[in-house]
Every structure is written in structure tokens, then in C-alpha cells.
Amino acid sequence: MSNLVIVESPSKIRTVKKYLGKDYEVVASAGHIRDLPKSKLGVDIENGFEPFYENKRDKAALIKELKAQAKEADTVYLATDPDREGEAISWHLAHVLGLDNDKAVRVTFSEITKNGIETGMAHPRKLDMDLINAQQARRVLDRIVGYKLSPFLWKKVRRGLSAGRVQSAVVRLIVDREKEINAFQSQEYWSIDAKLRGTSSKRQFPAKLAEVNGKKAELKNKEETDTVLGELENSDFIVSTIKKSVRKKQPAPPFTTSTLQQEASRRLSFNARRTMKAAQELYEGVEIEGQGTVGLITYMRTDSLRVSDEAQKAAAALILERFGKEYLPSKPRVYKSKTNAQDAHEAIRPSTLTITPEIAKKTLTGDQYKLYKLIWERFMASQMENALLDAVAIDIKAGNCLFKSSGFTVKFDGFTKLYEESADNGEEGGALPKLTEGEKLTVTSLTGNQHFTQPPPRYNEASLIKAMEEYGIGRPSTYAPTISTILDRHYIERDQKQLKPTALGDVITELLSDHFERIVDTKFTAKMEHQLDEIEEGKIEWVKVLEYFYKDFSKSLDKAEKNMEGKRVKVPNEPTDIVCELCGKHMEIKIGPYGKFLGCEGFPECKNTKKIVSEASGKCPKCGGKMIARKSKKGKPFFGCEDYQNCGFMTWDTPVADICPSCGKTMFKKVGKKGRLYCAAESCGYEAPEQDKSNES
């Protein structure tokens, strides 16, 4: 063996080996082989924040094997992922294997394709100490916060809790949003909506009241609305102005990590963890029929919108072939990244455009295919021509009131022929009938409609990731792990797709806000992220950043210990009507290390606990018992009989209140394109389309 290539993930080995050939041996480090110790802080705060790394115990056999292979090799190439974490893993590998840091041993692959690997191997370099120091600074910062702050929470709330530099700021966002919602006072307002018809068309069209007496229409109650409606009763509705224009609609840029997670959440209902798992698999390489193992997308952790010239040329050729020259812009599109974006990697795009989703579908898993199709279509659309809309805006005079109506038709579909961002799909439109200025319209209906202002919505994963990006909290690689962490630690919980704080999350956030304001402050957290970027760029020393942070943090910790001496904070429990069968007191909903459970309010005298059971509609079609809502290990909801051990009935479909007209048993709802109601009783078989259901409860 003359050349050893060490990649990060075992799933890359086969793909990289295929393109490098027999003169290269490819092995994987399977992530970090060295880290800070688990049992202690592992950072010498008094002497320049020097970290003490140790080989990971579970990697002992692998390290021994890697050392033997490195000793036999003429050249060792460190080909871990092309980011801070990957650079640090290579640095630790170099240290453990005794490699010379000054030799050009580091290679990076922006895509796991023949071209990507050959390009990477043709440009070996030295290890980048700026990247490594940025990772070290982040690791030490997070270690200090975790190991210094967590024991404080154990003493003041309960054991097993933890705090994190990024996660605590994210929980604060969710807690603050919930406070806004709870404090919101809804205000009544009214609108007046008209349905009108022109003289030359029988088709009616909508219009909204926009102005009264030359001022913006602001109707606060029914009385004001009825007054205006009364004035309009005998008014003629006359078209006063018609403005026609051609509106350009530009495609969305190719994906970054953040926008990919947001769009996958909106369009595919993937959570961030699920999105990144599928993206990692697509990047590292999947089997494609007739082509072997191929990396289908570029590196999936990026906030850059840059696209290589080669990719643009390939897209242009495919657009010409598939759609025709009218769908190709006169010059390639260039998208500007955000000012704080790291430009080391391209935007997320297909590595080989000719591997279309249709070709790849045969060998991809369901999640891989859905995500690849999304990435492929988004990138191709980003390189296509604008859509053109014939827009019409009409002003309609009615007495002292002004109504407005607008509509559009598609003049040229452009990029929308292939893909349209989900955020744009709700756009109102449609053609208006042909009208002329001065034309008198017929009023087919005129109604006042009551509305109430709505509180800000809770975050979902898509909107939370967007907020994290806008506030500058975390980096592309940390969005998904941060959300997973605060869910796993029960600081927040999902309510359907919405995220809300638990009582534990409220208590922890309040405690940290009172004593460690900077830890939960989004601006300070963003400033620290910016300083990590500056370390990566070689602008500041990593130890200076740690000194700046720790000086204030240690003072806050000492002050908090003093102010909270002898005090503990209780996490409030949620009362229920369930009676404890052991002592007769009521059970409460409590939050433990493994989530919510029922515990007796008489604790510690009575230690009775139970799992929380959510009863569903209807009865078991097999034995007539109660139906219970449950969740799989992956969090997917399903329904089963309360006596599942003896009965065995379970289903992914939702039981409803409707009764089967054939046998009288509970009906179930199957969702999807072929959604239907059906009876699950073995001897029945009745089913009907969902819209045809007869019984409502």
C-alpha cells in the first residue's frame, strides 16, 4: 500500500475507493477519535484555556488499526468533511498517527463524484489552524458552559439538567414567543367584501373596501360597518382606473442548509434531523442503477449561494434540451449570499444533473428520493428564466368609498414550469373579466365580515430555523442538532407541528435570564458566533475570545451561587382529575428525564406513577375496548387497543367518531391522495371517500 485516504464516514469508503483506484486504500475515522474527557472539565482555564484531549475509549481498536495502516503508507491523506469539525477531526488524526502538520496531507471533497474527488486530490494542503482553532474555541466554550452551569441547575432545580450556549438562547426564543401569545389581546375589526359583475361578462369577481372618504378603511365594529353598508346601498359601483402591467417573478436561489430544512419541513413535513440524515446519505453516496455508488449532492452544510461555472453550464445545457431556449436566461444567474455567510462551499445542488430524480428513484429510499427531487428541481429552477404575469389592478368608486380588486394571468410560466417555492404557492390571482374605465358594475353581494387580530404564531421547525439564521444563532451544522437537543431534554415539546415550552423550559429560562442574561441573549450569542467566524478567518486569536467570554461568565456564576444560596426552584406540575388508586389524592402531570408522566401529588409519601395515556375516538373494532393514541420510537403517532397484549389491534390510521353504516363499528380515516373512511372490522370491509361521510359528531 502506498497511499492511505482517511475519510470521516464509513459510507463514503466505497464511493471514494471506486474513483481513486487500486493504489489507494480508503478507511474511515467514524467521526472524532479524540475529544475532551467526559468525567471532568478538561480545560486549563488558568493557563490559556488549554484543552486536554484524550483518545476515545470506544475507538481504541480503530486507532490501533489506523496507526498500523499509516505506518505502512507512503502518504496519508486526511479527507474528512470540508468544515470546521472535519478540519479538527483531521488535526486529531494527524496528532494520534504522528503525522507532520506542515506536510500537505489535507484534502477536501465538495462532492463525492469523480470530478469532486479528483479535484480534491489534486489540491492537497496543510491543515488550516484557523479552522481548527475556531472549532476548538467552540468546543471549549460549550464545555465551559455545560460543565460549569449544569451543576448549578442540578443544585437549584434538579439533577440531570443541562444548559448550552446555543440551546439556551433558542429555548428563550420559544419561551418569549409563548409569553407574547399569552399576553396578546385580540382586537375586533371588520371588512367589507363585494362580489361584482361587469356588463360584458356574467362572471363575478371579488373586490375589497380600501378607503372611506379618502382615508384607509379601518372599521372597528359592526356599527361602523353597518353605517358604511347603508351608505353603499344606493351607490353606483363605477370602474375608475385600470392599471395593467407585466410582473416578473424570479426563482428562489438554490438551497442553503437553512432553506433546505425550512422547505423540507413545509413541503415534505420532514423535521430538521430527518432532512439532514437524508442529505448526508445523498452527499456520501448512494447506489444508482448502472452507475454504482455515486454522491448525488454537494456538501450539505453551507450558507453560501455560490454555484460553480461548471454546474451553471451543465444546467444551461439541460434547460435547453428539456425546455427550450425561451426558458434559459440570457446570462447565468448569480445569487448574493448573506454578508455573514461562509463561502467555503457552494450552495446545495445536484452533483451530476443528468442523474434526474426519475433515474435515481429506482434505488433511493423514500426520504432520499423526496429530498433529492426537491434539491434537483430547486437548483434547476434557480437557473431558469423568470415567470411573467399579466397583472391587472382595478380601482372602483362607490359613493365616498374606494374598492380595489386585482388579478393576474400567467403570460410565460418560466421557472414555475418545474418548481415553485412553497411560500409562494398561496398567492392569490386569477384573471379578472374584461372591464373598461367608467363602466358601471352590478353588485351581486355586499357583506360586512367580522375579524379578530391574531397572536403571533408559535414556531414550527421551519420558522425556528429561519429565526436562528436571522438572529445569527448557531451555524448551518448546528440547527438540526440544537432543536433535537432541546426536544430530547424536554425543554420544549411538539404540539402537532408547533413548538412550545414545557414548564421545565419556562423555569430554566427564567432562572438563566435572572442570573446569566448573556447565556440566553440572542444578540450576545450571535456575537459569539461572529467571533468564531473571525477566528476561522484568522482575524482574532481564539484564546482572546475565551477570555472575553469567561471573565463575565465566571462573575455571573459566583454572583448566582451567592444569591441563590439555600434556595431551590420548583418546576410546577399540571393538575389532573385522575385519582390515585393508592392514596385517593389527585395525580399530576410531571416532567422527568424521559418526558411527561403521571405522579401522585402526595409524593414523597405516595410514590405512585403512571404513563400518560391519551384516549382516542371510537372503540377497538376487534374487541370493543378503548382506543389509545400512542407514539412509535421515532415519534410517529399510531393507535391501538387499550388491551393490546391480549387483543393485538393497532393501526397507523386515525379512529373517528363516525359509525360504520354497515356494521355499526368505529370508522378509521386513511389520509393521503386516496384519503378515505373505512371500517376496520375483519368481516365488514365498508369504505367511502372522506367527503362522503354521513355522520358528524
Nearest Cα residue to 449 out of 147, 192, 175? 192
State the CB neighbour count (10 A cutoff) for residue 438. Answer: 9
As given in the structure block, the three cell numbers for residue 391 are 397583472
Find where cell 476515545 sits: 56
Residues 6+ apart with CB under 8 A from 526: 471, 472, 473
Give the burial string for 489-505 (b: 16+ CB within 10 Å, else e).
Answer: bbbbbeeeeebbbbbbb
Residues 6+ apart with CB under 8 A from 110: 82, 116, 119, 120, 298, 299, 345, 346
Which one from 299, 372, 419, 491 is the annotated catalytic residue? 299
Q: Is the peptide bond before 10 cis (omega within 30 degrees of 0)?
A: no
As given in the structure block, the three cell numbers for residue 119 are 479535484
Tally: H helices and E strands in the chain:
19, 30
CA distance 156 to 674: 53
Question: What are the strands, taking DSSP E only, across 14-80?
Answer: 24-28, 34-35, 43-44, 50-51, 54-55, 75-79
| R_g (Cα) of the chain, nearest Å | 31
Burial of 343 from C-beta contacts in 10 A (0-12 / 13-18 / 19+): exposed
Contact 334, 240 (CB under 8 A): no
Sign of CA dihedral 62, 66, 67, 69: positive
Instruction: Give the three-state DSSP class for 576.
Output: strand
Q: Is residue 419 annotated as part of the catalytic site, yes or no?
A: no
Active site residues: 299
